[in-house]
Amino acid sequence: MKTIDTVVIGAGQAGLATSRYLTAEGRDHVVLDRGRVAESWRSARWDSLRLLTPNWMTRLPGWSYAGSEPDGFMTAAELTGYLSCYATSFGAPVLEHTPVTDVSPMAHGYRVTTLRGSWFARNVVLASGPARTVPTLSRRLPSDLHQLHTSKYRRPAQLPDGGVLVVGASASGAQIASELRRAGRRVVLAVGSHTSLPRRYRGMDIMWWLEQSGVLGRTIAEMPDPRAARTQPSLQLRGGTSGEDLNLAALADLGVEMTGRLIAADGSTVYFADDLAPTIAAAEARTRRTLDIIDRYAESAGLAAEVLPAVPERVLNVHEGPRKLAPRAAGITTVVWATGFRHSYPWLRVPVFDREGHVLQYRGITAAPGLYVVGERFLHRRDSSFIDGVRYDARTITDHIRMSSRAQRATRRAETVLEGAHV
Ligand SMILES: Cc1cc2nc3c(=O)[nH]c(=O)nc-3n(C[C@H](O)[C@H](O)[C@H](O)COP(=O)(O)OP(=O)(O)OC[C@H]3O[C@@H](n4cnc5c(N)ncnc54)[C@H](O)[C@@H]3O)c2cc1C
């Protein structure tokens, strides 16, 4: 077993940002990834995906976008290149193709077991990213339906001929529904809780407003319901050069049929809740609240005269789609689960989980000495899981590792002094 100060698990943006700070401090560490650097962007994104955040909003510790299109939106392949160059820029000690299979506590540290050997590490940073979630209901769907999660979706031609039921209308579901409809497919979209914002507002990109107005920097402690804040779905938004919106109104214009949440299936028929109208009303109220924050910020910052005037958002009048559907009879051959992601650590044998399986932490620091987590949704700030926001938590964790090491060294010295005094 090799001995090292810190093991970072995962070489996505969260693991690399942490590694960048550890490198700057000269801390002996290794970054283990089951695949390659930026593996999620290589193998779990669809072909046409563009980031929702503009290029200028990809600031990592010691690294930022230097290209000619700061207001453009990277493809997944471009982001893979961006993160790979980042890792190379500081010689990140990444060991690729090294899946972690077990992390267990030992005296003064952890044993990290991989398919390519074990490490004893004083500190372990969990940066393994979110895993896809598919509801158990998927097992009760007609057996002849082709089912896949968005992380396995690449392009319309990959799916069997016929219509598609897309379950979930957040960023991924809305984008994939739009792409499939444009490719001539019948698309039924089961709409769950979502948040929609215009791509551009008052003449500026929405992400600029969210940053400037402080929305992205709000911390979990400021949230009235932290649990709800952490499970809030991603924004219905499209990243692209055209600045067009991607919301339910745009999808309705394309001919996407919308219905409520998928709630049951009996082997031949699937059933939807009668909740489309209240779901849309709740989403519109959330949109309005966020735009009000932006308007208030524009006023208080004296920007109101410089930006465009506020134009009321288009009110959505969606025709309620089917309440139940026999997929075969309706020509639906595929279900795309756009049901999101959730962090899970099945290989972590340290008792730091709450009853729902979330790692209990404060600013990425767990109660288990030397065990940290980074990259989770709303870990501390609203943008904790964003490329641009992970640096704050990576900094906090690295500071904590440094201070803990100093404290441990001081304790060991004190123990030595005491032992000497007793001799
Ligand atoms: C479709 C989609 C679009 C998104 N668009 C944006 C956007 O536009 N802007 C933005 O800021 N954010 C966006 N995000 C959110 C976020 O930036 C990504 O989820 C990002 O990939 C999270 O980075 P991460 O480093 O936390 O995790 P990941 O990128 O998932 O990296 C985790 C790494 O850990 C490795 N790993 C996992 N398990 C193990 C193991 N057991 N052993 C070893 N290695 C392991 C994986 O191979 C992976 O490389 C998007 C997310 C999704 C899903």
Q: Which atom of ligand 1 is nearest to the CA of 39?
A: 49
Is the domain of 107 the same as that of 248?
Answer: no
**Cα(130) to centroid(ligand 1), Å:** 6
- Counted domains in the chain: 2
Percentage of the chain lying above the pLDDT 90 cut: 78
Is the domain of 175 the same as that of 262?
Answer: yes
CA–CA gap between residue 41 and residue 387 (Å, rounded): 12
- The encoded tokens of residue 284 equal 């519109």
CA–CA gap between residue 291 and residue 206 (Å, rounded): 9
Phi-psi map region of 2: left, alpha, beta (phi>0 left; psi -120 to 50 alpha): beta
User: pLDDT-based confidence at 300, cuts 50/70/90?
Assistant: very high
Is the domain of 104 the same as that of 231?
Answer: no
CA–CA gap between residue 115 and residue 416 (Å, rounded): 38
pLDDT of residue 240: 61
Residue 48 lies in a domain: yes
Q: How many CB atoms lie within 10 A of CB 117?
A: 12
Ligand 1 pocket check for 13: Cβ under 6 Å? yes
> Which of 339, 359, 384 is the last residue before a domain boundary?
339
> Which of 309, 339, 369 is the last residue before a domain boundary?
339
Q: What is the pTM of this model?
A: 0.94
CA–CA gap between residue 29 and residue 32 (Å, rounded): 10
Average pLDDT over residues 319-328: 88
Give the pLDDT confidence of 212-233 residue by residue, as tens digits. 999 999 999 999 999 888 887 7
Residue 422 lies in a domain: no
Average pLDDT over residues 283-288: 89
Give the pLDDT confidence of 155-205 residue by residue, as tens digits. 999 999 999 999 999 989 999 999 999 999 999 999 998 888 888 999 999
Is the domain of 109 the same as that of 155?
Answer: no
Is the domain of 179 the same as that of 279?
Answer: yes
With a cut of 80, say whether residue 151 has pLDDT above it. yes
Give the pLDDT confidence of 27-61 residue by residue, as tens digits. 999 999 999 999 999 999 999 999 999 999 999 99
**Cα(20) to centroid(ligand 1), Å:** 17
Average pLDDT over residues 101-117: 97
Residues 6+ apart with CB under 8 A from 139: none
Residue 21 lies in a domain: yes
Is the domain of 149 the same as that of 290?
Answer: yes
Is the domain of 333 the same as that of 196?
Answer: yes
More confident residue, 33 or 309: 33
Is the domain of 226 the same as that of 298?
Answer: yes
**Cα(350) to centroid(ligand 1), Å:** 23
Residue 423 lies in a domain: no
More confident residue, 356 or 374: 374
Is the domain of 247 the same as that of 306?
Answer: yes
Is the domain of 6 the same as that of 74?
Answer: yes
User: Mutation test of ligand 1: which of 32, 33, 60 has the most ligand atoms closer than 8 Å to its C-beta?
Assistant: 33
With a cut of 70, say whether residue 239 has pLDDT above it. no
Which helix (H) or strand (E) segment holds residue 131: the answer is strand 131-132
CATH code, domain carrying 159 = 3.50.50.60
Residue 114 lies in a domain: yes
**Cα(369) to centroid(ligand 1), Å:** 25
Average pLDDT over residues 288-300: 94
- Return mean pLDDT, the chain: 93
pLDDT of residue 71: 94
> Which of 339, 371, 396 is the last residue before a domain boundary?
339
With a cut of 60, say whether residue 241 has pLDDT above it. no
Domain region containing 198: 134-339
pLDDT of residue 242: 63
Is the domain of 107 the same as that of 221?
Answer: no
Is the domain of 285 the same as that of 355?
Answer: no
Calculate the alpha carbon distances from 96 to 20, 34, 93, 149 in Å.
Answer: 17, 6, 10, 25
With a cut of 70, say whether residue 362 has pLDDT above it. yes
User: Mutation test of ligand 1: which of 34, 211, 359 has the most ligand atoms closer than 8 Å to its C-beta?
Assistant: 34
Q: Classify residue 75 by its DSSP letter.
A: B
Q: Whose CA is nearest to atom 38 of ligand 1?
A: 128
User: Mutation test of ligand 1: which of 86, 359, 385 has the most ligand atoms closer than 8 Å to its C-beta?
Assistant: 385
